Amino acid sequence: MTNTGGGGPIPRGTWWREGALTATAFVLCLLGGMLQVDGSTPAPPPAAAYLIAVLSCAALPLRRRVPLAAMAATTAGGALVPPAGLLLTPLIVAPALITAYSYSLTARTERRAAGAVSLISATLLVASIPSSGALSWQDASRMGVVAAFPLMAGVLGYSVRNRRAYLAAVEERARRAEESRDSEALRRVAEERVRIARELHDLVAHQITLANAQATVAAHLFDTRPEQTRKSLKELVETTGDALDDLRATVGLLRQSGDTAAPAEPAPGLSRLPTLIESFRRAGLEVSVHQEGTARQLPPGVDLTAYRIVQEALTNVTKHAGTGSARVRLAWNRDRVTITVADDGGGAPTAPTASTGPSTSTAADRPPGYGLIGMRERATAVGGHLSAGRRPEGGFLVSTQLPLPSARDSTRRTDGATTIEGRMADPATGDKEAGDAP
């Protein structure tokens, strides 16, 4: 176990390793004590070699708890070699080399490790200088070897330390990458849930509002105009059928990968605006639609957002405005399309749905929902902007600006001053209403 704090207890299960290391160092010390200066046949280790080996090796198990004390003890044992009449070689100072390696591996800072190892090397270098006689090349080479070995041990410990730090960093990066993948997956799941929630809100709010309006018409005309009541009930059946189809297609997104795939339909866009207007007409809301500029093909996400914003805005008019008419304007510019939906918010009722009745008053008393929040989220998600509020002249206005692709990507061309096909307003009054559009 690496202890970057500079010392610590011996980890469990490594006592046998410590024993083997200490025994090896003891044997190396004895072998070093057998070497002679003149290169004669090695003699058995003298008593001084045993004493130095015992004193030096006894400090090795303490190098983790008190590393500096262990280094001092082993270095002192190496410095006692020349006075004891033994030859100072890397073998007899093996315990000092081991403590130098260990301290370089676990020191708190590189500077402290370098200073400690350099002190060991300098001490052994001074101890290896002959006290008398001329300094021969053999003595100089032995002194250089004795001084260089602690430095080599320190460099080796530093390299092993860097290697372990590199592997730890790689493992940490892998762990963080795994956590990032998990977080990204959770984020995408949350975004998908929000997207599906928006779709369900828009579908349910639109279809249920139309169904409520048609049911109100049927209840209002049940006694006086049976034929009109039958027509309203037929439209109610169609509306609820469309609602079920839309809900089935949207909820089908939640099916598991192994389930049978439901038939996919193209996402709605502004091309389906006439059908949307017709559904509000059946509910008693007269809607006029006016275009300005040259229409262009929208990206799928922006096209769906534009459709849903118009749908939600008209649904809010039906539920809360207390008026029987609304105006939709699409202004096509070079880099954006501006969509506005406005109502007069206090005009005379134009359909029985606006008459005073239980259903109308109940709808007006309901607390505001999440329609405006959903519209803003949709517009922001595609890089657009949405604003909504009351008009000074009365009524409510929803305005959004959505980004457009470049002009060369445009594939649809329409007359900038014409009203789109399928507008529900009376053709005779269409120009007047277009001029009144905000």
pTM attached to this predicted model: 0.42
The continuous run of DSSP H or E covering 32 comes out as helix 15-34
Predicted local confidence at residue 353, as pLDDT: 35
Predicted local confidence at residue 251, as pLDDT: 62
Structure-derived torsion over alpha carbons of residues 410, 411, 417, 419, reported in degrees to the nearest 10: -130
Predicted local confidence at residue 329, as pLDDT: 93
Predicted local confidence at residue 175, as pLDDT: 87
For the record, the structure tokens of 174 come out as: 């892998």
The continuous run of DSSP H or E covering 139 comes out as helix 137-220
Residue 110 CB partners (closer than 8 Å, separation 6+): 158
Of 164, 208, 180, 189, give the one whose Cα is nearest residue 318. 208
Residue 367 CB partners (closer than 8 Å, separation 6+): none
User: What would you measure as the largest C-alpha separation in the chain, in angstroms?
Assistant: 137
- CB 437, CB 290: distance < 8 Å: yes
Strand ranges inside 132-237, DSSP E = none
How, if at all, do strands 286-292 and 325-332 pair?
Answer: parallel
Predicted local confidence at residue 352, as pLDDT: 36
Dihedral sign (CA 222, 224, 227, 232): negative
- Amino acid code (one letter) for 379: A
Predicted local confidence at residue 228, as pLDDT: 74
SS3 307: helix
* Cα angle for residues 297, 298, 299 (degrees, 5° grid): 125
How, if at all, do strands 336-343 and 385-390 pair?
Answer: unpaired
- CB 151, CB 127: distance < 8 Å: no
> Could you read off the pLDDT of 4-27 as tens digits, one per residue?
444 455 555 577 788 888 888 888
Walking along the chain (438 residues) 10 residues at a time, the average pLDDT comes out as: 46 72 88 71 77 88 86 88 84 89 85 88 85 72 86 90 91 87 79 71 69 72 73 72 66 52 64 86 85 86 88 84 85 91 62 35 44 82 88 88 70 39 37 36
Burial 386-417 (b: 16+ CB within 10 A, else e): bebeeeeeebbbbbbbbebeeeeeeeeeeeee
Predicted local confidence at residue 7, as pLDDT: 47
Burial 7-42 (b: 16+ CB within 10 A, else e): beeeeeeeeeeeeebbeebbebbbbbbbbeeeeeee
Residue 25 CB partners (closer than 8 Å, separation 6+): 53, 56, 57, 60, 94, 95, 98
Predicted local confidence at residue 369, as pLDDT: 54
SS3 242: helix
Query: In the chain, what is the straight-line distance between the N-terminal and C-terminal CA atoms, in Å?
Result: 75
CA 343 to chain centre: 42
Please report, for the chain, how many H helices and E strands are present, in that order.
Answer: 12, 5
DSSP state for residue 332 in the 8-state scheme: E
- CB 34, CB 49: distance < 8 Å: yes
For the record, the structure tokens of 63 come out as: 């190098």
